Structure 1
Amino acid sequence: MKKHKLMVAIVAVGCVSGVLAQTSGDSPWMVRVRSVHLDSSNKDSTPLGLSINNKTFGEVDVTYFLSPNLAAELVLTNPQKQTVYANGSEIGSFKHLPPSVLLQYHFTDQQGIKPYVGAGINYTHFSDVALPEGVSLDSHSWGLAFQAGLDIPLDRNWSINLDVKKAYIRSDVYAAGSSIGRLKVDPVLYAVGLGYRF
């Protein structure tokens, strides 16, 4: 019951703030397309010496401004395939879908460049796990995500975006049904892209 009340309160605040943002003359919606480089921390507590490859891929994010300074961002991409290594030798692969939701603070008193910081939650779903027989991963990972970035306006609507995130993505590793440790992907995500404010 408390969760339902909290959700109603958050939605109400969002609606009121959205109306205020619209009456100020700016649309509350922004969409960005970014190229992202995933740099995994590859921390492994199993005896297998597990790691995954780093890679670059595309993402789309949708930002809703609750006020001139406060915004909520949803980060989306398609499932990403990662190669899995054991002590440097390829042993398989998996796919992961890692959407994140972040609450941001935008510094609006800056001239030109508009920096922001954010924090939120990352949810990652692991699928198509192809590892040696008897080795498996958890299907789900929940973790914190932190962000810092800036928008460089090109005109009233368009901007260049630079962004860096730290996401905590982890999975227990199982062999013959028993946990043998944890793989911590915990990537840093470096991104550059183009944004459009409606």
Structure 2
Amino acid sequence: MKKLFLGLILFGLAIFNVQAQDDTQSDDFSKWQARFRIISIVPSPDDDIDGADVDISTAFVPELDFTYFFNKNLAAELILGTAKHNVEIENGADLGHVWLLPPTLNLQYHFYADGFKPYVGAGVNYTIFYGADAGDLDDIEYDSAIGFSLQAGLDYDLNDKWFLNLDIKKLFLKTDVTVNKTAEAEVNIDPLIIGLGVGMKF
């Protein structure tokens, strides 16, 4: 995963260098933009619990992001949203639910093709777990954790101010779970996040 993360950064820097040397686009660009999306969060859970598989539900929630452009190609995006996921042992105990708050900061490179603006990005997130319900258990705790993010997306201009957005992100995220204050397990969540929304330049 680290090799993939590093490769994406090097790829983006190489493209940035080529386009900076041969760019016929206007230097005019909006430094700020915001998007509102509806996203689906699809976890791919895995764990180190012998004889049991943790299942984490898919969630559909609103998401807000803000993007700042250093120049017309290179930008930083802060993603804000929160989601509730039901957790259970497959064909076993109900582990209740937990809320996730995963602010994510991505460095992006944007391309231009008429009204279309595809982009790729990579970054980090810090996921805060809160509001946990233990379900069939007496107690369950999730440790907040740092993860990595990969991203690809497409903006389509409706006019000079408004645009549509399609965005796909993969978060590489795991947490240490403590059950009944004694038993511990490591759970990979690794969600795929697919979003569709509208954005505004300002």
What TM-score do the two structures reach when normalised by structure 1? Answer: 0.81
Ranges of 4+ aligned residues in structure 1 off by more than 3 Å: 175-180
- Distance in structure 1 (CA, Å) of the matches to 2:91 and 2:85: 14
* Match of residue 124, structure 2, among 115, 121, 124: 121
- Distance in structure 2 (CA, Å) of the matches to 1:83 and 1:176: 18
Could you tell me which residue of structure 1 aligns to residue 179 of structure 2? Answer: 175
**Are 1:100 and 2:100 matched, yes or no?**
no
Q: Which amino acid aligns with 2:38?
A: S
Question: What's the secondary structure of 1:27's corresponding residue?
Answer: coil
Q: 1:113 Cα shift?
A: 1.2
| Pairing of 1:61-76 with structure 2 (within 5 A) | 61-76=65-80
Q: Percent identity among equivalent residues?
A: 37
**Are 1:149 and 2:129 matched, yes or no?**
no
Q: 1:179 Cα shift?
A: 5.2
What TM-score do the two structures reach when normalised by structure 2? Answer: 0.80
Could you tell me which residue of structure 1 aligns to residue 114 of structure 2? Answer: 111
* Match of residue 142, structure 2, among 111, 133, 137: 137
Q: 1:44 Cα shift?
A: 1.8
Could you tell me which residue of structure 2 aligns to residue 32 of structure 1? Answer: 35
* Count of matched residue pairs: 173
| CA offset digits 1:51-103 (Å, max 9, x no partner) | 210011100000000001000000011x3221111124533111110110000
**Are 1:162 and 2:187 matched, yes or no?**
no
- Tell me, yes or no, if the aligned pair for 1:164 and 1:190 is still in contact at 8 Å: yes
- Tell me, yes or no, if the aligned pair for 1:101 and 1:120 is still in contact at 8 Å: yes
- Distance in structure 1 (CA, Å) of the matches to 2:189 and 2:167: 19
| Pairing of 1:3-18 with structure 2 (within 5 A) | none
- Tell me, yes or no, if the aligned pair for 2:28 and 2:72 is still in contact at 8 Å: no
Question: What's the secondary structure of 1:46's corresponding residue?
Answer: coil
Question: What's the secondary structure of 2:138's corresponding residue?
Answer: coil
RMSD: 1.7
- Tell me, yes or no, if the aligned pair for 1:46 and 1:180 is still in contact at 8 Å: no
